[in-house]
Amino acid sequence: MAEKPAEKRSRRGLLGAVFGKRGLWSKKCTADKGNQKSTTSSSIASTDCTANIQFTKSPGTELNPNKLQQDHKVSPEPIQKPISKPSSNQNSSNHQLGNNGNYQQINNQWPVQQQAKKVPRESIGLSGELECMINDNQKAKGIRASSSNVMFGNLGNLKQPGTAAVGNQTTVQNRGYGNTGGSYGVRNTMKEERQTSVSSNQDQPGSLCRAISTRMDPETLKIMGNEDYKNGNFAEALALYDAAIAIDPKKAAYRSNKSAALTALGRIIEAVFECREAIRMEPHYHRAHHRLSNLYLRLGEVDNSIYHVKHSGPEADQEDILKARTVQTHLNKCTEAKRLRDWKTLIKETENTIASGADAAPQVYALQAEAFLKSYRHQEADDALSRCPVFDVEMSTKYYGPIGYAGFLVVWAQVHMSSGRFGEAVEAIQRANKLDRNNREVSMVLRRVQAVTAARSKGNDFFKAGRFQEASAAYGEGLDHDSRNSVLLCNRAACLSKMGQFHRALEDSTAALTVRPAYTKARLRRADCNAKLGNWEAAIGDYEILRKETPEDEEVLRALSESKMQLVQRRGHDS
């Protein structure tokens, strides 16, 4: 849907005023592709990834009630009744719709008489009907089913919030906004998976998914989705709304409800696109307007937010407009503080902006991180970006444009470099350069990141070879481009300590801790230098901090004990 003029003006206003041509984005998600496995057990296979379960069905294998009745007349023998279904919580890891249609097999074979039994649809339930269709499909293909837990999957690859390895998102200690193998929160694998899933369903006109869709009421799916949403099962609700949309793509309510589920999962930009589509279908859909106004406010787009509040009809609330204007006031102060290079005020006003409602605005988090960098508070800059929500790369580029996304990557690359993540810094700034080749700031940061990374690599090689003088000089070359880089300072301190220059090593270690107080290596280096110089009180202070941070480190405990003993001995001599 084409954006309203107010939406275009707002995006230009904030991103243009605050970042020049730059606008911003943020925090990476690989979803493991679930492979269906066929075994010799009794039903359909459950995959190891809930979001990627696919149903396939060959043409001509749908249930035929007339045929079942004819088969029943032919069979003179009594029919065995299916064994009662187990509890729906039999497998807690499977997100199921309706009851589990579980039927026990005898010797891994369905008796012919059982197949002839016609069970009323209302007595089977949704899950049971799906299972019957799947069993027919598999028998037609000569495949034995492997599990009777039918799950409604692959109706929108889902990102579970708060999980460590869902999609391509952050996994282990990745500051919340980068993938373990890359640098800037990419969900390429998720995107590829979605494309694969969609093409798979499109390429199979007789797929089971399509067969099921033609037999189900989208309103029923919506009601089930609403129930899951109320119960906090947002991923399952999203799957059901996707299913309803697949059956009736022209119903605005399904898009609006999907937007609510996406919002609950933290996928704000995707939620915006769904709301826009709902309004395109139904321009006077008040609830969708109100929902979109809240989303725009969270993204820091005040003009767009107010525009949609005014179109919300009875859903509108004067408090919404007042809240939006409060956010605008703080954003204006952010713009002025950046213009004056008043970093202290900028840090304060970005925090106020986030607290006022713009809690998902990547440009605000990036402004705050930039202010911390300019104030040589590198650890806090890293923490600021780690709080920024994760957005899909493709969606973010589509929403902010390549230049806006590149602007965010510039800040991100500098934060990575200041925290010693040189590979991620190079990757982020190279991507920014591809998106905005004519940006002078991008080119400048690219050259600096490359120079610092090369100097660090060169220094490491010299250090490993025991050539400490050359290593110290190499790290110094990197510090010429980034004088407060904590990693280079700590590495040079190690070289100086090896050469017995403890006073200079102490200075570099202290400088590293000034910008990153939680940098354990630098603190350990400083404690060691103080111990070598006989500054036992200072050494004990650092060792005590390290003991709290790493209580299991025996080396720290031993050094702390030695320092205390030396201090007691010195005081004994002094007395």
Query: How far apart, in whole angstroms, are the C-alpha atoms of residue 389 and residue 141?
Result: 45
Q: For the CA atoms of the chain, what is the radius of gyration?
A: 30
Mean pLDDT by 10 residues, the chain (575 residues): 47 48 38 38 36 34 39 37 40 38 39 40 43 50 38 34 36 36 37 41 40 69 94 95 94 96 95 96 95 96 95 88 95 96 96 96 95 96 91 86 93 95 95 92 95 96 96 96 96 96 96 95 95 93 93 91 89 67
The pLDDT of residue 58 is 34
Enumerate domains of the chain plus CATH numbers.
Answer: 209-316 (1.25.40.10), 499-574 (1.25.40.10)
d(CA 538, CA 527): 7
Please state, in angstroms and rounded to a whole number, the distance separating the CA atoms of residues 326 and 189: 39
What is the Cα–Cα distance from 301 to 19, expressed in whole angstroms? 15
Residue 139: per-residue pLDDT: 55
pLDDT of residue 219: 93
Listing DSSP states for 256-306 in one string gives HHHHHHHHHTT-HHHHHHHHHHHHHH-TT-HHHHHHHHHHHHHTT-HHHHH
Q: Which residues pair with 106 in a beta bridge?
A: 109
Burial of 414-428, coded b for 16+ CB within 10 Å and e otherwise, reads bbbbbbbbbebbbbb
- The alpha carbon torsion through 373, 377, 382, 384 (nearest 10 deg) reads -90
Q: Is 551 exposed, middle or buried (0-12, 13-18, 19+ CB in 10 A)?
A: exposed
Query: Phi and psi for 541 in degrees, rounded to 5?
Result: -60, -45
| DSSP class of 4 | P
Residue 135 pLDDT: 54
Distance in angstroms (rounded) separating the CA atoms of residues 493 and 522:
8
Question: For residues 528-538, b (16+ Cβ closer than 10 Å) or e, as one string?
Answer: bbbbeeebbeb
| CA–CA dist 477, 474 (Å, integer) | 5
pLDDT for the residue 315: 85
Q: How many CB atoms lie within 10 A of CB 348?
A: 17
User: What pLDDT is recorded for position 316?
Assistant: 84
The pLDDT of residue 451 is 96
- Residue by residue, DSSP assigns 26-71 as ---B-PPPP-----SSSSBPPPSSGGG------TT-S--HHHHHHH
What is the identity of the amino acid at 314?
P
234 closest CA partner among 284, 171, 282, 163: 163
* pLDDT the model gives residue 391: 81
Contact 46, 147 (CB under 8 A): yes
Q: Which tens digit of pLDDT belongs to each residue from 17-34?
A: 445 444 333 333 333 333
Asked whether the beta carbons of 359 and 263 are under 8 A apart, the reply is no
